[in-house]
Amino acid sequence: MDLASSNYLEDLREMARSAYRWNSFDPEARADSDLASHERQLRQDLEEIPEEKRKQYIESYKSRLSSLFAGKSRCANAMVTGPAKFNFRQNEKRENAYWNKYEEFNAWRERFLAAMRRMEEKARPEEEKREEAVQLLLKDLKQKAETIHDLDTGKLKGYHRALFVSSIYNKVATHASHGEVEIVQRAVDFITEFNFKVKKPVITARNRFFQLPEIAMRMREKLYARKNEENKETAFEGGKLVWNNEADRLQILFDNIPDDDTRKNLKSNGFRWSPKHKAWQRQLTPNAVRAAKRVLNLPNS
């Protein structure tokens, strides 16, 4: 499919011109400009969409755009039609209806493109995603290590050195808590190599930072063992609490949609709604279990 030369919306030109008949002194020019803008937008969108999904997107895009033009054709401008007997209240309602459709159109685009990005990300090789994560982490560590070195040499003043050391530790510790041994080891190797290049180490050898590879390995073993455990459930009035070991998530499944206060309480305790699992969930940890029982008023035993 040649995206650059295709003219996907040409068959909507007359509909577009009709849409602006009572809205513009030059409806043809206004419609042609609007259609050209949508044509550019559609082509840009298609660049993000896999070949097998493009036909579906084009058809949906044209259908929704046709609905937009139809809504616009019901609106008018008093300067174009003349103010005599112009029904301002009725036109305001039609304008509001049109803008609601416009917002729905944009929301649909965003959802579709976001789904395509998720699909593309899921299809990427794990090695590629891991390497990208490593490079982002190393870039961040490099900036922080250089800042610490500038503080040590007097090139930079006014900052607390310990905060940057803590930030490095916390960044890498997050990966360790997920059992990402290779990422953690490369981060530790990077800081080790950086220390060799400077007079004063940015992180001293006795710092617990250098224990993170061992912690990551233990966590990987723990997560592997957990995935082979059977899921556990606890029923409560109106739903159930699930220890999903394979997904490494503590999940709360309600029989009915919880009320606003409960949802706010869930969010404030770190739970997020998962459309995939139809559950409120967070990483499976002892703190998560305590939080869930607190939200659900279950005995903490």
State the average pLDDT over residues 65-93: 85
Percent of the chain whose pLDDT exceeds 70: 98
Q: For residue 257, what is the DSSP state? A: P
Task: Please report the pLDDT score of residue 2 as a whole number.
Answer: 52
For 141-151, letters b (16+ CB in 10 Å) and e give beebbbbbbeb
Output the average pLDDT for the chain: 91
Tokens 């310990």, located at residue: 162
pTM above 0.75, yes or no: no
Rounded to an integer, what distance in angstroms lies between the CA atom of residue 34 and that of residue 16? 8
Strands of the 272-274 sheet, one edge to the other: 232-236, 239-244, 249-254, 279-283, 272-274
pLDDT in tens, 144-190: 999 999 999 999 998 999 999 999 999 999 999 989 999 999 999 99
Instruction: Reply yes or no on whether the pLDDT at 84 is more than 80.
Output: no
State the average pLDDT over residues 263-268: 93
State the average pLDDT over residues 62-75: 93
Contact 252, 292 (CB under 8 A): yes
Instruction: Reply yes or no on whether the pLDDT at 1 is more than 60.
Output: no
Instruction: Reply yes or no on whether the pLDDT at 229 is more than 80.
Output: no
Return the top range by mean pLDDT from 8-12, 83-87, 225-229, 242-246.
8-12
Element (H, E) at 236: strand 232-236
Residue of 127 and 229 predicted with greater confidence: 127
**Would you report the helix, strand and coil content of the chain in percent, each value rounded to 5?**
65, 10, 25
Contact 170, 159 (CB under 8 A): no
